[in-house]
Amino acid sequence: MFRRNKSVVGLDLGKQVVKAVEVSLEGPEPVITGFARAETTSDDDRAAAIAKVFEIGRFRTKNVVTSVSGQSVVVRYITMPEMSDSELGQAIRFESDKYLPFDAEDVQLDCQRLTRRPPSSNEGGSGADDQMGVVLAACRNDAVEEQISEIKAQGLTPIAIDVDVFALANAWELCGLAEAEIETTDDERAIALVDVGATCTSINVLCGGETCFSREIGIGGRDMTQAVSRRLSIELDEAEQVKCEPEGREAEISRAIAPVLEDLVSEISLSLDYVENREGLAVEEVVLSGGGAMAPGAVAFIEQAVGRPTRTWNPLEGLRVAEDRVNVDDIEACAPSLAVAIGLASRICGA
């Protein structure tokens, strides 16, 4: 309790790259005090990749926060009668079977009251005044237990397991961007954080800095790499390198990945239209992160297809990096892919 410095490592267990970012509290200020990444091609390689990032990362702590995603995770945005937080904690177990494809005893379950009131009913029932919005998250026990075992096997201490889509919002808040967005937008405007990872794309729509919709799409950077491999008749390893470092072949790469981006933006557009219609708000901007978003032409393609201003963001923005412990050039070079890891490490600010 009396230590001046506290630290947490956000460990993003990606399908292609394991990324670790350590955030420490130096007084009240969050500071990035460690960073490492290691490539992995299979689940068997992931243990070695975790060991490698902790070997080279020079981290102060072995306390880690990881996250889950995929088919073992379910997030639902529901409306419930107004009640206290303690009542909500008791009621959600009885209500969860209405919203989850799993048995309640088979999952780890959590929920959070939302400050934004749900839209009024269109069916003549109770209006929003006596109701509240709730975000419900659940993950299968076996997926949680497997991840905990994987972390402990490396001599690390898992202090929390988050969900990828929520880690995005936490990184946004840690950088101070959520506060700036609240100050410059009204209650019915929203932004969409879109993280294009290796195998899936995470979407989290924020209204007034608070989540109101999230979803995972099973399309990512690996699909783009496979498209480049097929189009250029090259091996996957070479295709990945060319995609990341086109060196004059940008137009060729853009044409190769266009069909993948068409499928991706179709799903993104459907998601944004859905949340706008359901919540009665306008998604004003799409903000991209993740390695897949850095593919040649991806940002311009997505912006044109979704019909909204679109840009990338640097999750290091607003954060101090300890230059005596972290190579600034190295971390800046892959900053767009670190949103989830930074969001996980931001848990230190709530410790």
Per-residue pLDDT tens over the stretch 186-236: 556 899 999 999 999 999 999 988 999 999 999 999 999 999 999 999 999
Q: Is residue 133 part of a domain?
A: yes
Task: Kindly state whether residue 296 falls inside one of the protein's structural domains.
Answer: yes
268 and 199 co-located in one domain: yes
Same domain, 209 and 294: yes
CB 254 within 8 A of CB 296: yes
Query: Which CATH number covers residue 120?
Result: 3.30.1490.300
The contacts of residue 77 (CB under 8 Å, 6+ apart) are 114, 133, 134, 135, 136, 212, 213
Beta strand pairing call for 107-113 and 131-140: antiparallel
Which helix or strand (DSSP H or E) is residue 76 part of?
A: strand 73-81
Instruction: Please indicate, yes or no, if residue 63 is contained in any of the structural domains.
Output: no
- pLDDT exceeds cutoff 90 at 305: yes
What CATH number corresponds to the domain at position 285? 3.30.420.40
Are residue 121 and residue 182 in the same domain, yes or no? no
pLDDT band at 170 (very low <50, low <70, confident <90, very high): very high
Residues 115 and 205 in one domain: no
Contacts of the segment 179-182: beta carbons below 8 A, 24+ positions apart? 179/209, 181/206, 181/208, 181/209, 182/208, 182/209
Task: Give a yes or no: residue 19 inside a domain.
Answer: no
Task: Kindly state whether residues 126 and 197 are assigned to the same domain.
Answer: no
Let me know whether 82 and 193 are in one domain.
no
pLDDT at 122 (0 to 100):
45
pTM confidence score = 0.90
| Burial 171-199, CB ≥16 within 10 A → b, else e | bbbbbebbeebeeebeeeebbbbbbbbbb
List the beta strands (DSSP E) in 233-322. 282-289, 310-312, 320-321
Establish if 295 belongs to a structural domain. Answer: yes
* 107-113: strand order across its sheet: 73-81, 131-140, 107-113
Residue 259 belongs to what domain range? 176-313
Q: Is residue 131 part of a domain?
A: yes
The answer on 237 and 125 residing in a single domain is no
Confidence of residue 128 (pLDDT cuts 50, 70, 90): low
Are residues 203 and 295 both part of a single domain? yes
Residue 34 has pLDDT above 50, yes or no: yes
- Same domain membership, residue 188 and residue 246: yes
Domain count, the chain: 2
Q: Are residues 303 and 214 in the same domain?
A: yes
- Residue 330 domain flag: no
Assess whether pLDDT exceeds 80 at residue 152: yes
Contact 71, 46 (CB under 8 A): no
Average pLDDT of the chain to the nearest whole number: 89
- In a shared domain, residues 124 and 182: no
Average confidence (pLDDT) over 312-331: 93
8 A C-beta contact, residue 291 and residue 337: yes
Asked if the structure places residue 105 within a domain, the reply is yes
User: Tokens at residue 266, please?
Assistant: 């179709």
Mind listing the pLDDT tens digit for each residue in 42-72? 666 889 999 999 999 989 999 999 999 989 9
**Tokens at residue 351, please?**
């410790």
Beta-bridge partners for 204? 193, 214
User: Residue 200: left if φ>0, alpha if ψ -120 to 50, beta else—which one?
Assistant: beta
Q: Are 129 and 202 found together in one domain? A: no
Q: What is the separation of C-alpha 191 from the centre of its chain, rounded to a whole number of angstroms?
A: 14
Query: Residue 130 — very low, low, confident or very high, per pLDDT cuts 50/70/90?
Result: confident
